[in-house]
């Protein structure tokens, strides 16, 4: 068994069953699925335990500390496979998702394989995949994928410290962890590796950076990215109180 798939969830009863069904349909098996309940009160944990996933070894964890970073941190000691994928509980993963990611790790210096998030419309999805292919070639040391579509070689991920609140207690944790991992090797974005997050994510004002912060991220040289995250961006997010708890609030649903 070479793969682990990690999903943390908090009150995702409306979406989690469809996500688990997409994982049950993966062509690459067997794999381990770690499901971390972050204090759900809507029956999500029961749905997770009742799901039928042939060929999948399911590990159920519970993390009482509120916040996605704590839930992901709880999964770190359980990563015993060569590769790990991180996903979201409201996202569809095509049946060949893990198989395509697995094939992309052919070169030993590749430390991360990233998916593109696409809309359900095929034409719009193709445009987004083309955009990500260009962006990843222009900025190979930057992140073009959120936490719904990240996969890592486990050894360099753990060597970088993994997901941990002590490194980054703010939003944009998916970008910060890449800053640590990318220093150990190459990141690739296979054109055919994509997933479809739910369409509820419309208002991201409480969980995103400003235009100036985003532009500076793109144009800060790779050698200065540590400065950007830990001396510039982190203090600004702290001042605006944009901690990882904001992700739990799901303000985009209101």
CB 164 within 8 A of CB 73: yes
Per-residue model confidence as pLDDT tens digits over 38-80? 999 999 999 999 999 999 999 999 999 999 999 999 999 999 9
CB 77 within 8 A of CB 4: no
Query: What is the 3 state secondary structure string of 84-123?
Result: EEEECCCEECCCCHHHHHHHHCCCCCEEEEECEECCCCHH
Per-residue model confidence as pLDDT tens digits over 135-183? 999 888 889 998 999 999 999 999 999 999 999 999 999 999 999 999 9
- Residue 243: the pLDDT is 86
Which 3 state secondary structure label does DSSP give 209?
Answer: coil
Q: What global pTM score does this model have? A: 0.92
d(CA 1, CA 82): 8
Per-residue model confidence as pLDDT tens digits over 16-45? 999 999 999 999 999 999 999 999 999 999
Per-residue model confidence as pLDDT tens digits over 192-223? 999 999 887 555 555 678 999 999 998 999 99
CB 143 within 8 A of CB 152: no
The residues, ordered by sequence, that sit 6+ positions from 30 with a Cβ below 8 Å of its Cβ are 1, 55, 56, 57
Which domains does the chain show, CATH number per domain? 3-201 (3.90.550.10)
Pairing, β 110-114 against β 150-153: antiparallel
Give the CA-trace dihedral at 133, 3, 196, 11, to 10 degrees. -140
């Amino acid at each position: 068994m070479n793969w682990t798939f990690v999903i943390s969830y908090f009150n995702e009863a409306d979406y989690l069953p469809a996500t688990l069904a997409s994982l049950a349909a993966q062509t690459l098996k067997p794999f381990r699925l770690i499901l971390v309940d972050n204090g759900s009160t809507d029956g999500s944990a029961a749905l997770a335990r009742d799901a039928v996933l042939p060929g999948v070894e399911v590990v159920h964890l519970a993390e009482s500390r509120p916040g996605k970073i704590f839930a992901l941190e709880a999964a770190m000691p359980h990563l015993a496979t060569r590769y790990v994928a991180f996903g979201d509980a409201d996202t569809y993963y095509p049946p060949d998702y893990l198989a395509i990611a697995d094939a992309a790790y052919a070169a030993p210096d590749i430390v991360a394989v990233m998916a593109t998030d696409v809309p359900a419309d095929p034409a719009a999805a193709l445009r987004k995949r083309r955009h990500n292919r260009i962006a990843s070639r222009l900025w190979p040391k930057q992140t073009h994928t959120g936490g719904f579509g990240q996969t890592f070689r486990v050894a360099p991920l753990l060597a970088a410290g993994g997901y941990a609140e002590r490194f980054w207690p703010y939003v944009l944790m998916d970008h910060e962890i890449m800053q640590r991992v990318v220093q150990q090797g190459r990141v690739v974005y296979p054109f055919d590796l994509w997933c479809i997050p739910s369409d509820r994510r419309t208002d991201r004002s409480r969980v995103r950076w400003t235009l100036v912060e985003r532009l500076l991220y793109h144009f800060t040289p790779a050698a200065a990215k540590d400065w950007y995250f830990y001396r510039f961006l982190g203090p600004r997010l702290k001042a605006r109180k944009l901690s990882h708890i904001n992700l739990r609030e799901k303000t985009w649903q209101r």
